[in-house]
Amino acid sequence: MNSLFSKRPLLRIAWVHLFSKKRQTIVAMLGVMFGVTVFIFQAGLLTGLQNYFIEKTVNTTAHVHIYNEVRTARPHVVTRYIDTADRWVVVRNQKPRDEERKVKNGNQIIGLIEKDPRVEGVAPFLGLQGIFRFGMSQQAGTLAGVDIIRENTLFKVQENLIDGDMLRMETMPNGIILGSGLADKLGASVGNSIIVISSKGVALDMKVIAISKTGITLQDNTRAYISLRNAQRLLQQSGSYITDINVRLRDVNQAQAIAQEYQSKYGYRAEDWKAANANVFGIFRIQNLTVTFVIISILVVSGFGIFNILMTIIYEKMPDIAILKAMGYRDADISRIFLIESLAIGSTGGLLGLLLGFITSKIVGMVPLNIQGFVSVQYLIINFNPLFYLAAFAFALVSTTVAGYFPARKAARFDPVEIIRSR
């Protein structure tokens, strides 16, 4: 210790200062530690859940979704001929036109997209509302008419099954795969026969061949897979009728560009997965902002703690500062003493905070919690991205340096004569 300090009297003075104010130093360190812990924990928790959601979303929604955007609110034909700039035109009770949701030439488009080397898989989709009936219980939900083999290349249907086998859809013409929440509400399990009724009034007898659980609560509670043919029958449509085309890309980051390309190429609305989940990403942004504010305010408070202790030390150690200056120590030496002190508090508190943040995250990640929210998870998913640890530590150092800067500058500007003469 002695040899470490002998060439560095400033370091030694700083050390002695902090040591003479043990309690306050520890409190200031705890402040930084707490800030960093919250940073690590909150950021890990938040981005862990968000990443989990994004991963689930990427696996359960199409990277590019092509569909026929039906505009129900349309301008009345009268407005085409009458100038509405200086008069009112009121047309009451205009009904939506019976527009086809159909994607025309859907199979040809699928054939073309399939040849695109950037595409991993394409699947047709026919979505409709329906009512599920099992004995006396009845549930409304959505039906996804799919080509199950193609659907599986896109959305890992088989992986998400908790009971039954997807491939029975191929051999059993009236097979249905229920979402786990939907199956629970109906009280149905694999092997049961249920009745599905469409809005066109068509009822089909179907046999539950599998139960699926994706982890995305909304889907699990309402959705069922049936074959494309059965969906067309429920809507009384021919074999070429599909409403959507889902595309899975090799590189998910190209989704936006490819969606734009397909939209202009095929003349149907093509939406990438981020746009489709824009509301969720909006919520993420607000979450991130909130947490950022919490973290910043904690670090600001801990910064004030450091500022406070340094000011106390400076006023108490004025005679030391005066004599150091008289014996030839420069202003920069003096301010360095106090910057060293704030950095010592910041880095020690920061390191402890990293450790505590890591431990807290590990412990919380082990506690079983069955959460049914956006997504259903058994454990909190925590992101241990080392970048957070780096950022938290850097943030701690920066905030403590800022907090230490003003006291340090003040100390450097003390006039030794004034201090000595006032004694």
Partner 1 sequence: MNHAMISARHVTKRFTEPVDFTVLDDVSIDVQEGEFVVLVGPSGSGKTTLMYALSTLDTVYDGTIRIDDTDIRSLSKNQLASFRNTMIGFVFQFHYLLPDFTVLDNVMLPAQRLGLWTDEEMEDRAMQKLALLGVADQATKKSNRLSGGQQQRVAIARALMNDPKILFGDEPTGNLDTKNTEVVLDILQELKSEFKQTILMVTHDTAFANRADRIISIRDGRIV
Q: Which residues contact 142 (CB under 8 A, 6 or more apart)?
A: 127, 128, 129, 130, 222, 223, 224
- The residue (of 286 and 323) whose beta carbon lies closer to partner 1 is 323
Is there binding between residue 4 and partner 1 (CB under 8 A)?
A: no
- The residue (of 15 and 34) whose beta carbon lies closer to partner 1 is 15
Neighbours of 421 (CB within 10 A): 9
Q: Contacts by 297-300 with C-beta closer than 8 Å and gap 24+?
A: 298/34, 298/35, 298/38, 298/39, 299/32, 299/35, 299/39, 299/395, 299/396, 299/399, 300/399
Is there binding between residue 421 and partner 1 (CB under 8 A)?
A: yes
Q: In angstroms, what is the minimal distance from the CB of 338 to partner 1?
A: 15
Q: In angstroms, what is the minimal distance from the CB of 347 to partner 1?
A: 22
d(CA 72, CA 75): 10
What is the number of residues in the chain?
A: 423
Is there binding between residue 229 and partner 1 (CB under 8 A)?
A: no
d(CA 242, CA 15): 75
- The residue (of 20 and 94) whose beta carbon lies closer to partner 1 is 20
The window from 11-19, 152-160, 177-185, 393-401 that contacts partner 1 (CB under 8 A) reads 11-19
Pairing of the two strands 175-179 and 193-198: unpaired
Is there binding between residue 7 and partner 1 (CB under 8 A)?
A: yes
Local structure of 110: helix, strand or coil: helix
CB 205 within 8 A of CB 132: no
- The residue (of 136 and 327) whose beta carbon lies closer to partner 1 is 327
Local structure of 105: helix, strand or coil: coil
Is there binding between residue 128 and partner 1 (CB under 8 A)?
A: no
Q: Which of 1, 19, 369, 422 binds partner 1 (CB under 8 A)?
A: 19
Q: Which of 205, 278, 319, 371 binds partner 1 (CB under 8 A)?
A: 319
Q: Which of 147, 220, 271, 320 binds partner 1 (CB under 8 A)?
A: 320
Residues 154-193 that bind partner 1 (CB under 8 A): none
CB 313 within 8 A of CB 28: no
Residue type, 38: V
Q: Which residues contact 101 (CB under 8 A, 6 or more apart)?
A: 67, 68, 70, 243
Alpha helices (runs of H) in 63-140, residue ranges in sequence order: 78-81, 106-115
Neighbours of 238 (CB within 10 A): 8
Is there binding between residue 16 and partner 1 (CB under 8 A)?
A: yes
Is there binding between residue 111 and partner 1 (CB under 8 A)?
A: no
Residue type, 145: G
Q: Which of 13, 49, 247, 258 binds partner 1 (CB under 8 A)?
A: 13
The window from 50-58, 127-135, 241-249, 314-322 that contacts partner 1 (CB under 8 A) reads 314-322
Is there binding between residue 328 and partner 1 (CB under 8 A)?
A: yes
User: For the packed helices 22-60 and 278-316, what is the interaxial angle rounded to 10 degrees?
Assistant: 170
Is there binding between residue 12 and partner 1 (CB under 8 A)?
A: yes
Is there binding between residue 413 and partner 1 (CB under 8 A)?
A: no
Is there binding between residue 71 and partner 1 (CB under 8 A)?
A: no
Q: In angstroms, what is the minimal distance from the CB of 379 to partner 1?
A: 50
Q: In angstroms, what is the minimal distance from the CB of 316 to partner 1?
A: 10
Two tokens, residue 288 = 């991130």
Is there binding between residue 333 and partner 1 (CB under 8 A)?
A: yes
Number of residues located near partner 1, criterion CB under 8 A = 29
CB 66 within 8 A of CB 268: yes
Is there binding between residue 146 and partner 1 (CB under 8 A)?
A: no
Is there binding between residue 422 and partner 1 (CB under 8 A)?
A: no
Is there binding between residue 20 and partner 1 (CB under 8 A)?
A: yes
d(CA 14, CA 288): 38
Q: Which of 262, 329, 374, 388 binds partner 1 (CB under 8 A)?
A: 329
d(CA 259, CA 162): 33
Is there binding between residue 364 and partner 1 (CB under 8 A)?
A: no
Q: In angstroms, what is the minimal distance from the CB of 322 to partner 1?
A: 7
Q: How far apart are the first and last CA of the chain?
A: 34
> Contact positions toward partner 1, by CB under 8 A?
3, 6-9, 12-13, 16, 19-20, 319-320, 322-333, 416-417, 420-421, 423
